[in-house]
Structure 1
């Protein structure tokens, strides 16, 4: 099997404080730069190909401190050799001209290892706090689509012109353009109709919250159908909180301890904000419409993906995700460095062995 046919792995960069579960359980992780450099080096040596920085402007849900995503991404790239870092960017605070130039420069400095995650925004309180306009739900995705179309045009054309509702350009030429061809990879998240439709038109990658293979396949089939109609192509990434232990009992005991020690006030506050955001979608529900309290303890439904158990169990479930159409697993961990290394040593080799078996369907393009 060629490397391009293999499922790939990313991890959430802890550039915000509080870890990835809203719980009072010990999380051996740190939002400092020094810790993140050690983590990034461990991750690329353990077989991870991508890292995703988080974008936050305000405190909340255990994240009291936040490093800015693009500059932090560049800092990690400076200390690694192979890892590609995906910088999260919010249209609104960022304008496409600045983002395009900023990322093109980092692309040159990192020898083509920067990517972008365009986050349309779901938490109005954050936008209000920094004085940014808050368009309605579908309008935020319309703005993000114009943002992506602008980036692509700037990165691939000379004398680029664009006359959109949110952004306008006239005969703009960026030089130098990025090293990556045709352009820097563009990721995007969301589970609403507007998010999936946008991905099917303009994004290279689509991130979705954690879920079962069967439920993910419904989303992926929907996107694939739209992609064909649009003459586009898109790859799929899914969020997963991974608890890999030597025994199944130990792994599930850790999960139960995380939930038992959940920060109830913070989880409920997040759930309320998420429900308000979901109610604003055209279909009246969003990413977390069917999430229970326990699901929301990991705020991107990472427990739902069920990568919890022994290395063999987790490897088999990852292959099931691949069969459903998943191209990338976006991973979170309780104790980051040690668990990233355990995953690389114990789980990833089993995934590659299972992928090499001839009965497994090839990964979707």
Structure 2
């Protein structure tokens, strides 16, 4: 049992699985991170020992912004589960290329093999070329989320009901019974991300978890308050995960120097191409904004705005900021690192114990 194992109400930690090449920054800076299976299995064991509860595998079908090579998410997630004992791995899925019946069957089997340690992240999709290059229709922004809504309702029904019948615009089932059902009850956890109105409304109605890009505490709070209010109207509850790129060093000066170095060595053409594609996708939403609407060049060097969460500094500074995130309703921090194995280990030794200590101190304070 890890000394950093959380209590039920403690903030939880996940890490991005580097199952794509190029690491988690669009930069030419040297990274002691590798996309191979051997490296990732060692990282999974390191993260598990450090106190991380979740790992999120990425889904890519085409190369983009430095990610020339990509391992498929579901099969790679299963390989990580074989290498660990407690870690839960979240496999990213794209509705369109995947049908909910296939995913439900696939993940139910993995759930049995891993004794209940698989989860799913439903990615509605934002990169048009990724769909058109493999012959998949490209839907308008809100239609993609409407499909994801049906996808989640369908997969949940398959996992929890016998003789499941569903008549949607995208998916149809007629008295379908999946056997065996997953080990986890009522079903494996369902994650979903996005920042648009459609993404938040979807999370507030059907998802177990909502992932949002990195942001300031004030901006995150307004998002979280909005989602939780919508969820309450739907008699639904949803937990919140936030993306963060962690640079923990013994001094703040060292940490800031690493950030400066990452940005100074940014792959300029790749960052600009990603920024253009991402912002064009956001403009297609009815409100004209998406995940990256207000992202600067520096923000886009970490492609989910991880720098904006500001988990950059000493272990104490980072721990204090994590507890501040918890105070506004964040349930999980999804972390990326420059040199994954060594920095995950450092985080587990230096940062996580301080987070737990600060959580206990806050709990002891009178209401």
Relative to the length of structure 2, the TM-score reads 0.97
CA distance in 2, matches of 1:360, 1:128: 55
* Match of residue 121, structure 1, among 125, 147, 158: 125
Counterpart of 2:125 in 1: which secondary structure?
A: coil
5+ long unaligned stretches in structure 1: none
- Asked whether the 8 Å contact 1:178–1:184 carries over to 2, the reply is yes
The aligned counterpart of 1:352 is 356
The aligned counterpart of 1:163 is 167
CA distance in 1, matches of 2:265, 2:362: 44
List per-residue Cα deviations over 1:77-114 (Å, max 9, x = no partner).
Answer: 01100000000000000000000000000000000000
**Matched pairs, number:** 362
Structure 1 residue ranges (4+ consecutive) displaced by more than 4 angstroms after TM superposition: 359-362
The aligned counterpart of 2:207 is 203
CA distance in 2, matches of 1:35, 1:67: 13
Counterpart of 2:25 in 1: which secondary structure?
A: coil
* Match of residue 155, structure 2, among 141, 151, 173: 151
- Asked whether the 8 Å contact 2:205–2:236 carries over to 1, the reply is yes
- Asked whether the 8 Å contact 2:189–2:208 carries over to 1, the reply is yes
How much has 1:213 moved relative to structure 2? Answer: 1.1
CA distance in 1, matches of 2:214, 2:119: 22
CA distance in 1, matches of 2:35, 2:267: 19
- Asked whether the 8 Å contact 2:6–2:12 carries over to 1, the reply is no
Counterpart of 1:221 in 2: which secondary structure?
A: helix
CA distance 1:249–1:57, shift in 2 (3 Å): same
* Match of residue 179, structure 1, among 172, 180, 183: 183
List per-residue Cα deviations over 1:120-174 (Å, max 9, x = no partner).
Answer: 0000011010000111000000000000000010000000000000000000000
CA distance 1:131–1:316, shift in 2 (3 Å): same
The aligned counterpart of 2:238 is 234
* Match of residue 115, structure 2, among 94, 111, 116: 111
The aligned counterpart of 1:26 is 30
How much has 1:357 moved relative to structure 2? Answer: 1.0
CA distance in 2, matches of 1:30, 1:359: 39
- Asked whether the 8 Å contact 1:323–1:361 carries over to 2, the reply is no
The aligned counterpart of 1:214 is 218
Counterpart of 1:116 in 2: which secondary structure?
A: strand
5+ long unaligned stretches in structure 2: none
List per-residue Cα deviations over 1:191-221 (Å, max 9, x = no partner).
Answer: 0000000000000000000001111000000
- Asked whether the 8 Å contact 1:295–1:303 carries over to 2, the reply is yes
Counterpart of 1:187 in 2: which secondary structure?
A: strand
List per-residue Cα deviations over 1:25-83 (Å, max 9, x = no partner).
Answer: 01110000000000000000000000000000001100000000000000000110000
Counterpart of 2:66 in 1: which secondary structure?
A: coil
- Asked whether the 8 Å contact 1:323–1:360 carries over to 2, the reply is no
Alignment of 1:242-281 (within 5 A): 242-281=246-285
Work out whether 1:47 is the aligned partner of 2:46: no
Alignment of 1:40-119 (within 5 A): 40-119=44-123
Q: CA RMSD in A?
A: 1.2
CA distance 1:358–1:252, shift in 2 (3 Å): closer
